[in-house]
Structure 1
Amino acid sequence: MERTQHSDWIEKGPGFGAGLSGLREALGIKTASAGLVAAIFGCSGPALIVIGAANNGGLTEGQTVAWLLAIYGLGGVISLIMALYYKLPVTGAYSIPGAALVAGALGTFPFEQAVGAFLMAGAMVFVLGITGLIGKVMRWLPMPIVMAMIAGALIRFGIGAVTSIEKLPIVVGAATIAFFLSMRFLRAVPPVLTALVVGLVAVALTGGFQGGDAAISFVAPEFTAPVFTVDAFLAIAVPLAVLVIGAENAQAIGVLYAEGYRPPINAMTVISGVGGMLAGLIGGHNANIAGPMTAICSSDQAGENPEERYAATVLNGVLFAAFGVFAGVAVPLIMALPGPLIGAVAGLAMITVLLSAFQSAFDRNAGHQIGAFVALIVAMSNVSFLSISAPFWALVAGAAVSVLNERVARSPAVGTTPT
């Protein structure tokens, strides 16, 4: 189905008037439930990943609140803009692999340098979108190599879910069992939500809540002035921009094509760049188009009529934005949980992302298998040269090995229309 008129710059859509006027009719039980499920997914396990990254970097609670405000508040705004203007289930959130990348980088870089890198990453994505250079850039970074880098950067979260059981066996064990039972028997409920609820019950029963006499109160966001450095640009900004374009946007574009939509690729890239820059000003790593949430809101679960599924994205956007605004209350509650439970739930939340990354990285039909393997092991090694962390070197090494050793046709450039 053709929904947008493509141009060399920003695609045209039906407009906000059309989106608002049709919203009441489009919002039904199925669209509302899909939007709610997508919001629950995004506000549970992924939020714990961000909080874990903030803890690893030694951020204050105020800085953590600002980070969540940036990515959830602006992610929700992106959903509202794209859904209402294009009448498409193009859903915003943030890069979960990007949060993992930043978590590793914060061991090397001060947070103010990371914030500067967030701004530079957003500017890169914006320029690539507004100039139409995505295809030219991504032609040199085939999807298997990008996805292998993602898999290598995220694998430690999966391993962390296993090691957390040793630290807190009853709580983490119960949450893990609940996750897989829910995956098998409760298909309508996100397994990560079931794991979190069961984990909370287990913590309450075992008296494992942290904080002692500390009162739960609102924490105001604490903004961080950016500092721009070449090292942070290479180690954080470049890989983060690649993740936004090569993982989140590419996944969302593919999902929309699979569901019969014609996605506004340039607009999706531009708004992801704007979201990245605005999020950086607040202290967050990137607000952009989200692959998993777009998949939920554009699927059959959101209703039989594809023309009405954009309402699921609208509701998801409202809920995301609300979570971001009230992050000051939510963060102290989440941080009262024991660390092993946070690590376990975060690792469980990464299962589907890791599966998708490995499958895309080592699809024989896509080629670049040797380069993808090199990218995987470099990213897993967590090496750092010249103060530049492993994800950047994974891309460089994977691409170099692929060019030198593989005589196969390149996989399609990210953002190109499949034929």
Structure 2
Amino acid sequence: MSAGIVTALVGFTSSFAVVLTGLAAVGADATEAASGLLVLCVTQALGMLWLSRRYRMPITLAWSTPGAALLAGAGAVEGGWPAAVGAFIVVGIAIVLTGLWPTLGRIISAIPTPLAQAMLAGVLMPLCLAPIIAVRDAPAAVAPVILVWLAAQRFSKRWAVPLAFLTAAVVIGISLVTSDRVLDADAMIPRIDLTAPSWTWQAMIGIAIPLYIVTMASQNIPGVAVMNSFGYTVPWRPSMIVTGIGTIVGAPAGGHAINLAAISAALAAAPTAHPDPKRRWIAAFTAGWAYLVLAAGAAAVAALVAAAPAGVVETVAGLALLATLAGALTSALSEASEREGAVVTFLIAASGVSILGIGSAFWALLVGLIVRAVLQGTTLPSLSRKSSLQSKP
């Protein structure tokens, strides 16, 4: 049970700032972003409670942190926030179809791993540069956050980002005390803010497709691999159906995507949770209940973030994504034959350019595939190619 509580606390505090940043970037106001954070906690909690108890496995879910980072880089699209909500629903439908229709998984799995990871790295780069810019612009507010994060890295990497957030909370508190600003008490009350979705082709291409690819490549497939390493075979079809339906249901309230946990999955599935592998499902089950408790505080956390001095929240988000960026770059450049295409993909994604109202992530992947085909003298990757995604574990 303690492992489950730690799983929820680490998962929430280490990346909620990325979620709020991403939702705000695609048009959500403060209330809508807080609603999105709340509903993500609830939908992944309910999914964990069902899957862990039904299959007696420590199956943990999470929101798509790389997906939120992608939203932060994508920015507003034609149709604004309602169009983004429509894109989230499409992502949920695609995840469900991946579980039901293996051919879709094989199509997505044809994308070479280096290109998929290069796209992710390019999306993450501007967010990871935010702490550097923040140090220049607001050193007094940002330096304590970075120093605490660095010290924690030396002793406990798992708690480095949560401790950085606690430091940021102290900085925000001092800022409120020494200024005329006050927290909006009404904004701290949990509430669901529903948005009627709309669909634009820019949002489908610029948000839905990259978000689906990133969620599958960086969360669902690694999540299965982590569970396999501890001797668990994740029920693929039920997991995709549960996370896909959870995404669809949560989208009108602002939830962008939920998926199998990857990094945090080890916290509940490892022997440290319980010596008996058959008992570790209780850790995931407890994590589900813990996320329901955290959901009640999501609005208060969002209000605290809204009151933060400039650069503080961006610093926490950037620090939270450094490990993900490092992993993406390592994977993108691991194969010498793929490096030219991967570098081009990375640069276009990092540029943030928008063409025809479509964000850089889509263009990065498209151009990367073209460059790869030209340099290697091949067509688009074969559907049988083992790559970044698999239709089933």
Q: Please report the TM-score for the alignment, with normalisation by the length of structure 2.
A: 0.90
**Contact preservation (8 Å) 2:168, 2:313:** no
Equivalences for 1:309-348 in 2 at 5 Å? 309-348=280-319
- The superposition leaves residues 330-379 of structure 1 with CA deviations (integer Å, 9 ceiling, x where unpaired) of 321332222311011111100111112112222228x5332222211111
Among candidates 161, 165, 172, match of residue 196 of structure 1 = 165
Q: Distance in 1 between matches of 2:228 and 2:295?
A: 30
Equivalences for 1:88-237 in 2 at 5 Å? 88-109=57-78, 110-186=80-156, 190-205=159-174, 212-217=181-186, 218=189, 220-237=191-208
Q: Distance in 2 between matches of 1:213 and 1:177?
A: 27
SS of structure 1 residue aligned to 2:62:
strand
Question: Aligned AA for 1:313?
Answer: A
Q: Distance in 2 between matches of 1:414 and 1:391?
A: 18
Q: Distance in 2 between matches of 1:364 and 1:259?
A: 27
| 1:400 paired to 2:373 | no
Question: Aligned AA for 2:41?
Answer: Y
Cα distance change of structure 1 residues 269 and 403 upon mapping to structure 2, 3 Å threshold: farther
Question: Aligned AA for 1:363?
Answer: S
SS of structure 1 residue aligned to 2:263:
helix
Deviation at 1:153, TM superposition (A): 0.4
SS of structure 2 residue aligned to 1:93:
strand
- The superposition leaves residues 67-87 of structure 1 with CA deviations (integer Å, 9 ceiling, x where unpaired) of 112211101111112211112
Deviation at 1:235, TM superposition (A): 0.8
Q: Distance in 1 between matches of 2:208 and 2:332?
A: 22
Q: Distance in 2 between matches of 1:209 and 1:416?
A: 54
Deviation at 1:257, TM superposition (A): 1.7
SS of structure 1 residue aligned to 2:28:
coil
Deviation at 1:207, TM superposition (A): 5.4
Q: Distance in 2 between matches of 1:151 and 1:210?
A: 38
Q: Specify every segment of 5 or more residues in structure 2 that has no aligned partner in the other structure, as ranges.
A: none
Moved more, 328-337 or 143-152: 328-337
Deviation at 1:167, TM superposition (A): 2.2
SS of structure 1 residue aligned to 2:15:
helix
| 1:289 paired to 2:264 | no
**Contact preservation (8 Å) 1:141, 1:395:** no
Identity percentage over the alignment? 27
Question: Aligned AA for 1:90?
Answer: I
Deviation at 1:208, TM superposition (A): 6.8
Cα distance change of structure 1 residues 180 and 33 upon mapping to structure 2, 3 Å threshold: farther
In structure 2, what is the equivalent of residue 275 of structure 1?
246
Q: Distance in 1 between matches of 2:121 and 2:33?
A: 25
| 1:243 paired to 2:214 | yes
Cα distance change of structure 1 residues 205 and 380 upon mapping to structure 2, 3 Å threshold: same
- The superposition leaves residues 21-76 of structure 1 with CA deviations (integer Å, 9 ceiling, x where unpaired) of xxxxxxxxxxx333222212222231111222344345333211221122111011
Q: Specify every segment of 5 or more residues in structure 1 that has no aligned partner in the other structure, as ranges.
A: 1-31
Moved more, 236-245 or 315-324: 315-324
Moved more, 146-155 or 212-221: 212-221
Q: Distance in 1 between matches of 2:370 and 2:26?
A: 31
Cα distance change of structure 1 residues 315 and 307 upon mapping to structure 2, 3 Å threshold: same
Cα distance change of structure 1 residues 103 and 205 upon mapping to structure 2, 3 Å threshold: closer
- The superposition leaves residues 207-256 of structure 1 with CA deviations (integer Å, 9 ceiling, x where unpaired) of 57777145423153321110011121111111111112121101101111
Cα distance change of structure 1 residues 333 and 199 upon mapping to structure 2, 3 Å threshold: closer
Moved more, 263-272 or 67-76: 263-272
Q: Distance in 1 between matches of 2:138 and 2:6?
A: 29
In structure 2, what is the equivalent of residue 27 of structure 1?
none
Q: Distance in 2 between matches of 1:224 and 1:76?
A: 22
Question: Aligned AA for 1:46?
Answer: S
In structure 2, what is the equivalent of residue 261 of structure 1?
232
Moved more, 52-61 or 67-76: 52-61
Cα distance change of structure 1 residues 293 and 83 upon mapping to structure 2, 3 Å threshold: same
In structure 1, what is the equivalent of residue 41 of structure 2?
72
Moved more, 57-66 or 74-83: 57-66
In structure 2, what is the equivalent of residue 370 of structure 1?
340
Among candidates 379, 388, 408, match of residue 358 of structure 2 = 388
**Contact preservation (8 Å) 1:71, 1:279:** yes
Deviation at 1:97, TM superposition (A): 1.3
Question: Aligned AA for 2:203?
Answer: A
**Contact preservation (8 Å) 2:109, 2:391:** no
In the alignment of these two chains, the number of paired residues is 385
- The superposition leaves residues 242-299 of structure 1 with CA deviations (integer Å, 9 ceiling, x where unpaired) of 1121211011011112222222222222222212211213221112222122132223
Question: Aligned AA for 2:128?
Answer: G
Deviation at 1:139, TM superposition (A): 3.4
Q: Distance in 1 between matches of 2:73 and 2:194?
A: 21
SS of structure 2 residue aligned to 1:288:
strand
Q: Distance in 1 between matches of 2:317 and 2:183?
A: 25
Q: Distance in 1 between matches of 2:289 and 2:146?
A: 30
Among candidates 28, 32, 36, match of residue 59 of structure 1 = 28
Cα distance change of structure 1 residues 209 and 399 upon mapping to structure 2, 3 Å threshold: farther
Q: Distance in 2 between matches of 1:138 and 1:341?
A: 37
In structure 2, what is the equivalent of residue 300 of structure 1?
271
CA-based RMSD: 2.4
Moved more, 128-137 or 387-396: 128-137
Deviation at 1:407, TM superposition (A): 6.7
Q: Runs of at least 4 residues of structure 1 off by over 6 A? A: 208-211
